[in-house]
C-alpha cells in the first residue's frame, strides 16, 4: 500500500523504494505497532471520533493480523514501505473502509516514536533479566571462591593479595550499575508520544492518557514537537549498552588471560571453547574474544546514533529511520554476548593451586611488611624504603619475603623480629583486610550474600 496517493502522478522508482523502505528491519516491531494501533483505535471509539462499531472492527482486524503474523500465515512483503504501512494496508484489505479510519488523528511520526519506545521498553526487561543472571552466577562463584587466594594486579603486575571471589564481585558491581542504568533509561522512554501526530498535535478531542494507560506506559510526552523528534531514549540505551560492553569486554580480557598457559588460573569447559583446524593441542577462548571484539560494534552503533541525530532540525526527518538498525544491533549484540558469556563463566573450572602459587611470587605482601614496620613505630615512608631494600635483596638471592632469613631483615632495619613472618603470611594478609568492600574471605562472603538479597529486590 502506498500512503501518499492523491498528490503524486508517478509510482515510486523501484530503486528509490528499496532505498527508502524500512520494513526489512522494522517488521520486528509488528507486535508493538499492532498493540499501539489497538490502543489508539479503542480510544478513538471511546472519544467518539470514530464509531464504536468501526473501532471494534479495527481492533478485531488487528488481532487477526497479529495472530496470522505469529503463526506464519501472514508474511511481510517486498514492497511495503514500513511496518505501519504494511499493517494498515493489510487491515484495510481485511475490513474495508473501517481500516482507513485507523489513522485518524495519528501520523507515522508519532506511531514510530511509540513503537520503538514499546519495543525497547520490553528489551530493557530482557537485558535486565540477562544481567541479573550474570550477577547470580557471580554471586555463587564469589561464595565458592571466597577463600581462594590470588594476586590482585595493577599495571598487570602482581600487587596485593586478594581472593578470587573478590575479583569476581567487582564485575558484579559493574553489572548491578548496568541494571540500574537500563532501568532508569526505561523509565524515561516509557511514555506515549501518540497525539503528537505529525508534529503539531491535532484538533480531534483525543484522550492521550488513556492510550498510555492501555499500553502500560507511565504517562505521555509533554510537547508534540519533542514527542516525535526525541530519540534521546535510544541514545541513552545505546550509551548504557556501550558501558555494558566495556564491562563485559574487560571481563572477557581477564578470562582470556586467566586461561592462557602463562596464568593457568582457570580452564573453560569444552562446551564453551573451540579448537584449531591445524594445531591439535589448541583450546581457544573464542567466546571471550568475540565478546571483547563485539564491544566495537556496540560503540559503533552508539556513535552512528549520535551522529545521525546531531544536526537534524525539529521535528521528524527521515534521518531518524536510521535509529532502528543501530539500536537493534546494539541490543541484539549485548543479548547474544550475555547468552554465551554467562554459562561460559558458570562452567569454568578454577585452578586454586595456580592462583595461590602466583600469589607466592611477586612480593604481594610487601605492603603488609611495611605496615608491620609502621606498627613497630617507623614512619610509613621509612618502612616503605626498608621494605623496598628487602625486596631488592630477595631478588638478588632469588627468594621470597617469607623465606628471607631474619638476619637479612635485620641488616636492613634493626626493628625486625620474628613477628614479621606472621604479618606477611599471605592468608593472614587477606584475612585481615576486613575493611568494608575489602577482600577478606569473611567480607567477600558477606558481600556475596548481600548481593543475592539485592538481586532479589530488583
List residues with catalytic annotation.
Answer: 155, 276
Other beta carbons within 10 angstroms of residue 426's beta carbon come to: 17
Q: Which of 321, 354, 360, 367 binds ligand ARG (CB under 6 A)?
A: 321
Burial of 233: CB neighbours in 10 Å, binned 0-12, 13-18, 19+: buried
Applying CB under 6 A, among 33, 54, 82, 123 the residue interacting with ligand ARG is 82
Using rule CB under 6 A, residue 274 touches ligand ARG: no
15 or 155: CB nearest ligand ARG: 15
* Rounded least distance, CB 255 to ligand ARG, Å: 38
C-alpha cell belonging to residue 236: 541513552
Kindly state the smallest distance separating residue 21's Cβ from ligand ARG, in Å: 8
Q: Return the C-alpha cell found at 27.
A: 517488521
Q: Which of 161, 164, 147, 166 is nearest to 359 (CA)?
A: 161
Piece in contact with ligand ARG (CB under 6 A), picked from 108-116, 147-155, 296-304, 395-403: 108-116
Cβ atoms of residues 231 and 302 within 8 Å: no
Query: H-helix or E-strand containing 136?
Result: helix 108-144
Contact flag: residue 115 with ligand ARG (CB under 6 A): no
Q: Which is nearer to ligand ARG, 26 or 254 (CB)?
A: 26
Span interacting with ligand ARG, options 33-41, 120-128, 316-324, 416-424, rule CB under 6 A: 316-324
Residue 166 C-beta: closest distance to ligand ARG, Å: 47
Measured over the CA atoms of residue 22, residue 23, residue 29 and residue 31, the dihedral's sign is positive
Q: Which is nearer to ligand ARG, 292 or 324 (CB)?
A: 324
Min separation Cβ 196 and ligand ARG, Å:
12
108 forms part of the interface with ligand ARG (CB under 6 A): yes
10 contacts: CB under 8 Å, gap ≥ 6: none
Site for ligand ARG contains 112 (CB under 6 A): yes
Taking CB under 6 A as the binding criterion, the range among 90-98, 104-112, 130-138, 276-284 that sits at the site for ligand ARG is 104-112
> How far is residue 352's CA from residue 145's CA, in Å, rounded to a whole number?
9
Nearer to ligand ARG, 112 or 215 (CB): 112
Is residue 113 within a helix (H) or strand (E), and if so which, with residue range? helix 108-144
Q: Residue 442 Cβ, how far from ligand ARG at the closest point, in Å?
A: 55
Residue 22 beta carbon to ligand ARG: minimum distance, rounded to whole angstroms: 4
Decide if residue 110 touches ligand ARG (CB under 6 A): no
| Span 181-220, contacts to ligand ARG by CB under 6 A | none
Q: Kindly tell me the burial class for residue 353, based on how many C-beta atoms sit within 10 Å of its own C-beta (0-12, 13-18, 19 or more).
A: exposed
109 binds ligand ARG (CB under 6 A): yes
Pattern of binders to ligand ARG over 276-315, x per CB under 6 A? Answer: ----------------------------------------
Shortest Cβ distance from residue 354 to ligand ARG (Å)? 53
CA-wise closest residue to 402 among 389, 420, 387: 420
Cβ(176)–Cβ(135) below 8 Å: yes
Q: What are 150's strand-pairing partners?
A: 162
Stretch that binds ligand ARG, among 105-113, 177-185, 355-363, 445-453 (CB under 6 A): 105-113
Among 137, 217, 305, 320, binds ligand ARG (CB under 6 A): 320
Neighbours of 158 (CB within 10 A): 18
Q: Who contacts 175 (Cβ-Cβ below 8 Å, separation ≥6)?
A: 131, 134, 135, 138, 244, 247
306-320: b (≥16 Cβ within 10 Å) or e: eebbeeeeebbeeeb
Shortest Cβ distance from residue 322 to ligand ARG (Å)? 8
Q: Segment 9-38, which members bind ligand ARG (CB under 6 A)? A: 22, 26
Selection from 288, 189, 169 nearest residue 238 by Cα: 189
Q: Which chain residues interact with ligand ARG by CB under 6 A?
A: 22, 26, 82, 108-109, 112, 316, 318, 320-321
Amino acid at each position: 500500500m502506498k500512503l501518499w496517493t492523491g498528490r503524486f502522478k508517478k509510482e515510486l522508482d523501484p530503486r528509490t523504494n528499496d532505498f527508502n523502505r524500512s520494513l526489512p528491519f522494522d517488521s520486528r516491531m509488528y507486535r508493538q505497532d499492532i498493540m499501539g494501533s489497538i490502543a489508539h483505535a479503542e480510544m478513538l471509539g471511546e472519544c467518539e471520533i470514530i464509531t464504536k462499531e468501526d473501532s471494534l472492527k479495527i481492533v478485531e482486524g488487528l488481532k487477526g493480523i497479529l495472530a496470522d503474523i505469529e503463526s506464519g500465515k501472514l508474511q511481510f512483503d517486498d514492497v511495503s514501505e514500513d511496518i505501519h504501512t504494511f499493517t494498515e494496508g493489510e487491515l484495510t484489505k481485511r475490513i474495508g473502509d473501517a481500516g482507513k479510519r485507523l489513522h485518524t488523528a495519528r501520523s507515522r511520526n508519532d506511531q514510530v516514536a511509540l513503537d520503538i519506545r514499546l519495543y525497547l521498553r520490553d528489551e530493557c526487561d530482557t537485558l535486565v533479566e540477562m544481567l541479573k543472571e550474570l550477577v547470580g552466577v557471580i554471586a555463587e562463584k564469589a561464595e565458592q571462591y571466597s577463600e581462594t587466594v590470588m594476586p590482585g594486579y595493577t599495571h598487570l603486575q602482581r600487587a596485593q593479595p586478594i581472593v578470587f571471589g573478590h575479583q569476581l564481585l567487582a564485575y558484579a558491581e559493574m553489572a548491578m550499575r548496568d541494571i540500574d542504568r537500563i532501568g532508569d533509561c526505561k523509565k524515561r522512554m516509557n511514555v506515549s508520544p501518540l497525539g503528537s501526530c505529525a508534529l503539531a498535535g491535532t484538533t480531534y478531542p483525543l484522550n492521550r492518557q488513556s492510550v498510555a494507560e492501555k499500553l502500560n506506559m507511565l504517562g505521555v510526552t509533554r510537547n508534540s514537537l519533542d514527542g516525535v523528534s526525541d530519540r534521546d531514549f535510544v541514545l541513552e540505551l545505546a550509551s548504557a549498552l556501550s558501558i555494558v560492553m566495556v564491562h563485559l569486554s574487560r571481563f572477557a580480557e581477564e578470562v582470556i588471560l586467566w586461561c592462557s598457559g602463562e596464568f593457568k588460573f582457570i580452564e573453560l569447559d569444552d562446551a564453551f571453547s573451540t579448537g584449531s583446524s591445524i594445531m591439535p593441542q589448541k583450546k581457544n577462548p573464542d567466546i571471550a574474544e568475540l565478546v571483547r571484539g563485539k564491544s566495537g560494534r556496540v560503540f559503533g552503533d552508539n556513535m552512528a546514533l549520535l551522529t545521525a541525530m546531531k544536526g537534524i532540525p525539529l521535528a521528524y526527518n527521515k534521518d531518524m529511520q536510521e535509529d532502528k538498525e543501530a539500536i537493534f544491533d546494539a541490543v541484539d549484540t549485548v543479548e547474544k554476548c550475555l547468552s554465551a558469556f554467562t554459562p561460559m563463566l558458570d562452567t569454568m573450572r578454577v585452578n586454586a593451586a595456580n592462583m595461590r602459587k602466583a600469589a607466592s611470587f611477586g612480593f604481594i605482601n610487601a605492603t603488609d611488611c611495611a605496615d608491620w614496620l609502621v606498627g613497630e613505630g617507623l614512619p610509613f615512608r621509612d618502612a616503605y624504603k626498608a621494605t623496598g631494600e628487602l625486596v631488592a635483596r630477595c631478588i638478588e638471592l632469588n627468594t621470597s619475603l617469607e623465606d628471607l632469613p631474619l638476619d637479612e631483615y635485620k641488616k636492613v632495619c634493626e626493628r625486625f623480629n620474628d613477628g614479621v613472618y606472621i604479618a606477611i603470611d599471605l592468608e593472614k594478609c587477606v584475612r585481615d583486610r576486613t575493611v568494608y568492600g575489602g577482600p577478606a574471605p569473611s567480607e567477600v562472603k558477606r558481600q556475596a550474600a548481600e548481593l543475592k538479597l539485592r538481586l532479589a529486590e530488583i
